[in-house]
Amino acid sequence: GQQLNQSPQSMFIQEGEDVSMNCTSSSIFNTWLWYKQDPGEGPVLLIALYKAGELTSNGRLTAQFGITRKDSFLNISASIPSDVGIYFCAGNSGGSNYKLTFGKGTLLTVNP
Amino acid sequence: DGGITQSPKYLFRKEGQNVTLSCEQNLNHDAMYWYRQDPGQGLRLIYYSQIVNDFQKGDIAEGYSVSREKKESFPLTVTSAQKNPTAFYLCASSIYTGTGYSPLHFGNGTRLTVT
């Protein structure tokens, strides 16, 4: 099946620093999504990308859909303590159903 | 408020017992999904349903069963055949937009512990 490699697995940063994480796929995706999960909660959608090369921002978050359609990255600028959580990438290769393949997540810790 | 309600939040069962996890949505979404999450792992798809009275197996369906008798409800039964049922279970839904499905909207999960 499809696989997503998400890196890094975890990050420990100081408040105010910028963060970058990425996902690569063994196959082409038509949609890339980035979610954030707080402890004990469900993932919440941060950014959705639908076109190769697309660069989209949501506040301090910026994500890009790679032009090869096999990768995506998420940047967080000027991190704050509430950015703590697990960030997941997810991809969909299209078709009549809608099945997402998820990366294993990046655990972000922000030290105040 | 529209959303997905999963209940209960925490569930404890003895090994060998079947258990059913509830998922209800009032978003009028067409498709519903069940994912399993284990520590340090991504989300793995158990079952999904795009219309009432129809559902498909995901990547790890063995030991699980579902039903979709109503559009707003998609309960998951973890049977005694599931070898390692202790996990965090997430329900999600999505609406068909005419050209495709919207990104998944998730509930807040049920943590199942089987001893």
Residues from chain A that touch B98, judged by Cβ atoms under 8 A, are none
From the list A1, A42, A97, the residue facing B108 with the nearest CB is: A42
Task: Establish if B109 touches chain A: CB-CB under 8 angstroms.
Answer: yes
Could you read off the pLDDT of B45-99 as tens digits, one per residue? 999 999 999 999 999 999 999 999 999 999 999 999 999 999 999 999 999 888 7
Could you read off the pLDDT of B21-47 as tens digits, one per residue? 999 999 999 999 999 999 878 899 999
pLDDT, position B1: 59
Residues from chain B that touch A1, judged by Cβ atoms under 8 A, are 59
If chain A, 112 residues long, is cut into consecutive pieces of 10 residues, what is the mean pLDDT of each piece?
Answer: 86 97 94 95 96 96 96 98 96 77 95 92
Tell me whether residue A4 is exposed, middle or buried, using C-beta atoms within 10 angstroms of its C-beta: 0 to 12, 13 to 18, 19 or more: buried
Neighbours of A55 (CB within 10 A): 11
A45 and B105: CB-CB below 8 Å? Answer: yes
B-contacting residues in A 1-60 (Cβ below 8 Å) = 1, 4, 6, 9, 31, 33, 35, 40-45, 48
Strand partners, B35: B45, B90
pLDDT, position A2: 66
Task: Establish if B92 touches chain A: CB-CB under 8 angstroms.
Answer: yes
Q: Which residue of B has its CA nearest to A6?
A: B42
Please, which pLDDT band fits residue B4 given cuts at 50, 70 and 90?
Answer: very high
- Give the residue among B22, B37, B33, B19 at the shortest CA–CA distance from B89: B37
Task: Establish if A66 touches chain B: CB-CB under 8 angstroms.
Answer: no
Q: Which residue of B has its CA nearest to A30?
A: B100
Task: Establish if A88 touches chain B: CB-CB under 8 angstroms.
Answer: yes
pLDDT, position B94: 94
> Residues A79-82: contacts with CB within 8 Å, 24+ apart?
A79/A13, A79/A14, A79/A15, A79/A16, A79/A17, A79/A18, A79/A19, A79/A108, A79/A110, A80/A15, A80/A110, A81/A15, A81/A110, A81/A112
